[in-house]
A and B are shown apart, each in its own frame.
Chain A
Amino acid sequence: MSLISVEFLFFCAFVLLLYYLVKDRYRWIVLLLSSLVFYCLAGPKYVLYLLFSATSVYTGARLIDRMNDTRDAYLSEHKDGLNREEKKAYKASVKKKQKRILFLCVLANVLVLFTLKYLDFGIAYFNYYRLLITGNTNLVPQPGLILPLGISFYTFQSLGYVIDVYYGKVKSERNYFRFLLFISFFPQVVQGPISRFSALQQELFSEKRFEMERITSGLYRILWGLFKKLIIADRLSSYVARSAAFRMDYKGPYLLLCIFFYAFQIYGDFSGGIDVAIGVAELFGIRLTENFERPFFSKSIAEYWRRWHITLGTWFRDYIFYPLSVNKGILNLGKWCKKHLGEAVGKRVPVYLPMIAVWALTGMWHGSESKFIVWGLLNCTFLILGTEFEPLSKRIMEKLSLREDMLIVKLYRIFKTFWLMAFLRVFDFVKTPKDGFYLMADVFKRWDSFDLNEIYTTLLLPKEELIVALIAIAVLAAVSTIQRKGSIRAKILTKNAWIQYAGLIGLAAVVLIFGSYGLGYDAQSFIYMKF
């Protein structure tokens, strides 16, 4: 069941009714059952993967936590009988066992994710290179595994949890079913956000009261998400897909427009879906972590990635980048480099190596094709270049008497970051990395005999549709600008009920009428759903 469907609307309404009808202490059970039903509707057999992840991680976390309890009890019991060294050795032996459990837990889940996501891709590459090198034409068949709904999201969420338990940041959840709800909560299981147990636990299981204000706020958020998804993303999707497929027939300006549109398509699609997820959760009185913070206002790539898919970024930072940065091997390599290649290199290695790893993994997370790895590594390259050229950039600014807080500087940086990220996004919608580079190059070619009147026939996007798309993008930009000073929803919710109602109905009508959905449109599924 898609988050953008009338069926989902009815599903939510039914669950919501049930949720507020039952006693507070049973509400999480309503959510759990609804989440399992929701997941089963995507294919009952796929729920087994979810249960595997939940069971393995729950068991691992419980074992790790119990070892902590046993360790503490043992140490307290033998407080006077053990010397410092013995205590240390005992703690180390416990930690070693815990590490093994953590390793097994992570390995099992990553293995499932990798097998489902990359096995076909790996076999295809194996066949290709074997044919190339040995000339063997016997192809190893690809199993054609289907990716269960939201597996990347719930795997990361559950692994984050068990790592947190290992590091003692959170206590493990005793109740298996409560933990199951944590990773299967239906609004977020499709495409995130990737929540932390410490944050979501409180939200899921705390006492809730029916509050009309919260319902209104949730509805506003849902409608805003639908606005982004249906009016912007789905309206632009067919044009972007067509221009990527028929690149050779398009002149430079149209390809540039395609890149511009795709930036808004992917943002509208993903952040719109997250808005729906957050809005639906809000109806149940549950606050999910924000995943976007007006990324197109970023003044650097680093800032962009702090504002785009925030929960994935912080996940990689906390569970990959930081552990790698303090990894003994990397630190030793840094020392070695410092000694043999100079301080400048030695200082950078422990930072840049984990960065490269994180970005390669981020690329892989987005898809199994090589183009995503190229995309990830290009992002990493620009991040590193940004860091390396920062001193030069400062010197140039000083010479030109420019300051960071000047509007022109800010606008230039926003413009530069937007277009750089938009260009890198090309890899999302082309087939191969080579196609991506060619498309980027083609943008700067074929500007001859460009006639603006050809635009509608070339785009196959009727004038009226194009106007709606551009107005919607302008509305999005305006809303994002206003949001810098605070939440618009919060302001509306301070007005009287009729104004709140009028706003809600107005927004609903706009979505209902101008959305690209139904038979008349080729509405897309969520791009991020397949991750």
Chain B
Amino acid sequence: MGALTLFLFLSVNLLFMPKYIEENKDGRITEEFYREKMNSDVLFVGSSTVFSAINPIVLWEEYGITSFDRANASQTAWISYFMIKDAVEVSDPEMVVLDLSFFRYEDDYVEEAANRKAIDGMRPSKTKFQCIQAARSPDETYMDYVFPIGRFHSRWQYLNAEDWKYLYYKPTVSYNGYLPSFDVEPAQAERKTQVEDDSLMSDRNALFLDNIITICRENDLQLLLIKIPSYQPKWGEIFDGDVRMIAEDAGVRYVDFDEETEAIGLDYSIDTDDGGGHLNDAGSAKFTKYLGNFLVSNYQLQDHREDPAYSKIWKEKCERYHNGE
């Protein structure tokens, strides 16, 4: 009876948790990382800009780099830190590429939905508990993360066929964390620097950036800080200068790909799906090729295309992507 009770309790928890299959697919990325059968050499960490701009399939096909986007919408610096910590505990990455786009965010908490999407999929571990502690707002409780039914039970009136269909099994929805968008919404407004709220990086973001640098050093991970290109918003000079100074002081390379839009070949009239905030699949392909070239030129990353174990798995991934499955 004890085992049955546990099974039923877990089932109820699973039933009420949002599935993120048809919509809000980024909620699945965290969990899908654990499905990887082979190691990912490069981890791309950051917010929505990462999972919409960096396509691991392109990196594989062009350079034989194995990678994964450990990113979620509005993923804060502290969650990024715990994503790296967690990844180091379960896998053996060679390099971390951290996008600082969301480090401009100044509040100590993001909205609960963003926390849940990033954290709910994490495997139960001490790191997950630490992540909850760092990320939760004063209104959120540990117990709600440990037993999601406490948070999601009010969904009883919104349960639909998707909730039952994907109760125990959820298909993979991302391409190693990448979520392509095929929509096009050209950038309309004139590109302006956000000067009105320009400031230094917040203490909390700076602290966790420092933690990320430390954890990468401790685990012999190569670290590259980047700013993924976007038409809007554009950082102000103070923040931009602060980021460069932090990177320089820490002895970590920082590349602002915003400055290389032309070299990348980005055209914000066709390469974005939201007027310049995020890249669409076409824009992502251009940027990923450029980034891949940068990585293989500057870092020692192995080309796994000749390795049958890797190529077999990645062939399936590529087919899935190209078939739009």
Contact = CB atoms under 8 A, between A and B. Distances in A.
Contact of A6 (B8, B12, B139, B143): B143
Nearest to A10: B143
Given A6-B143, A519-B112, A519-B144, A512 B157 contact: no
Contacts of B12: 509, 512-513
Nearest to A518: B150
Interface string A497-526: 100010001000100111101111100000
B151 A520 contact: yes
Contacts of B153: 512-515, 517-518, 520
B154 interface: yes
Given A518-B144, A519-B140, A512 B149 contact: yes
Interface string B170-212: 0000000000000000000000000000000000000000000
B157 A464 contact: yes
Given A6-B150, A505-B8, A519-B144, A514 B156 contact: yes
Contacts of A465: 157
B3 interface: no
A347 B139 CA distance: 60
B147 interface: yes
Given A512-B12, A519-B112, A6 B147 contact: yes
Contacts of A464: 157
A93 B268 CA distance: 102
How many A residues are at the interface, by size bracket? 10 to 19
A509 B8 CA distance: 9
A505 B150 contact: no
B1 interface: yes
Given A512-B149, A513-B12, A518 B5 contact: no
Contact of A520 (B5, B8, B147, B154): B154
A515 B150 CA distance: 10
A460 to B, nearest CB: 15
Interface in B55-101: none
Contacts of B156: 513-514
Contacts of B154: 518, 520-521
A311 to B, nearest CB: 32
A505 B3 CA distance: 13
Contacts of A515: 153
Interface string A56-93: 00000000000000000000000000000000000000
A517 B150 contact: yes
B184 to A, nearest CB: 37
B17 to A, nearest CB: 13
Nearest to B142: A6
Contacts of B151: 518-520
Contacts of B144: 518-519
B153 to A, nearest CB: 5
Given A512-B12, A518-B151, 13 more contacts: A6-B150, A7-B143, A465-B157, A497-B1, A509-B12, A513-B12, A517-B153, A518-B144, A518-B154, A519-B140, A519-B144, A520-B151, A520-B154
Interface of A: 6-7, 462, 464-465, 497, 501, 505, 509, 512-515, 517-521
Nearest first, the 8 A-B pairs at minimum CB distance are A520-B154, A464-B157, A6-B143, A518-B150, A513-B156, A513-B153, A518-B151, A501-B1
